[in-house]
Amino acid sequence: MSDIVISTWGLTKQFDGRAGCRDITLQVPRGVVFGFLGPNGAGKSTFVRTMLGLLHPTAGRAELLGKPIGNIEARRKVGYLPELFRYQDWLTGLQLLETHAELAGVPRSLRRERIRHLLERVGLTGRENDKIRGYSKGMQQRIGIACALIGDPELVFLDEPTSALDPIGRREVRDLMMDLRREGKTVFLNSHLLSEVENVCDHVAIVHKSDLVVQGEWRKLSDVQTQVEIRAEGVSLALWQALQHLIVSAKPLESSVMMTGSRWLIQLSHEEQVPDLVECLHREGVRLYELTPRQPALEDVFLHWVGRKEAEHAHHRETLL
């Protein structure tokens, strides 16, 4: 069994030469939650539909579970929750799952117990005999996730799975993705809600304007920034401006009225500058109470890599001129 479940080489799907996804080359390891991140319209859904054989690529090639895209054997081991879906609303939730179980080839002897387990897993136990038309958007999202999992897939594509859910529902979906990972399954997660996937993704690929910007373990990708939170007395914006040769930015944070000094989030170019920062503050007479390293948020990492990519494009255009 291969350790790679998705491989693409220059995969491109364009519509009349525009939009879609362009020149995507990536690998997705087995048993991870892989975040495919980008704003709406970046090409995320186009990429997934191309991988599933629902769209024909314009260029490039790809493999799913070691087989060329479109291979029926591989497709049977894949679950899929589309971003925009509409099920037959005259069916009950139970009838919908029974239909999908039959389509997925689930043996009759296993269907009842698997459906019961999935209803419990997505929080719809007791509502399985209600018609789909009576489901809220969140409930429809939950039954959609159950449909994606009915075939006990090795690989699950979830396209914006938390878009219609309240905060409790979003947390439950995150917990479900982590459970799937513990079971050895791979989750390919499309999302533009960066804060929602920050705590579940092992690996990420960032796409922007149809292009792949960067990919890898997201915690390693976040090492491009060094952030520290400090609590100190005797600092001001004027002081930070005087230290522009050392720091990239300084952002004030809320401080408790019972707390001595003020709190700031400081961004540096690299970790080796932390001792220099402490030395400068001491020299300026600042009383430093705390200095705590901070892990940049996924949103900060995203903006960094997108900004870097756009700067490269701008430089390339200037070179051509």
Backbone angles phi, psi at 21, to 5 degrees: -125, 150
Q: Is 236 helix (H, G, I), strand (E, B) or coil?
A: coil
Q: Is 17 helix (H, G, I), strand (E, B) or coil?
A: coil
The four Cα atoms 191, 192, 197, 198 give a dihedral, to 10 degrees, of 150
Q: Which segments of the chain have a pLDDT < 70?
A: 1, 195-196, 222-224, 257, 298, 311, 313-321
| Model pLDDT, residue 169 | 81
| Model pLDDT, residue 83 | 83
| Model pLDDT, residue 319 | 66
| Model pLDDT, residue 93 | 93
Distance from chain centroid for Cα 160: 9
| Model pLDDT, residue 9 | 96
Residues facing residue 230 across a β-bridge? 264, 291
Homologous superfamily of 4-217: P-loop containing nucleotide triphosphate hydrolases (3.40.50.300)
Which CATH number, 3.40.50, 1.10.1200, 3.30.70, 3.30.310, labels domain 226-295?
3.30.70
CA distance 164 to 177: 17
Q: Is 129 helix (H, G, I), strand (E, B) or coil?
A: coil
Are the C-beta atoms of 194 and 42 separated by less than 8 Å?
A: no
Are the C-beta atoms of 261 and 253 separated by less than 8 Å?
A: no
| Model pLDDT, residue 318 | 64
| Model pLDDT, residue 1 | 63
Domain ranges of the chain: 4-217, 226-295
| Model pLDDT, residue 160 | 85
Q: How do residues 82-116 score in pLDDT, each as one tens digit?
A: 887 788 889 999 999 999 999 999 999 999 999 99
For the full predicted model, state whether its pTM sits above 0.95. no
Block residue for tokens 């895209």: 69
Helices (H) and strands (E) in the chain, counts: 11, 14
CA distance 159 to 309: 25
Sequence letter at residue 43: G
Q: How do residues 65-86 score in pLDDT, each as one tens digit?
A: 999 998 999 999 999 998 877 8
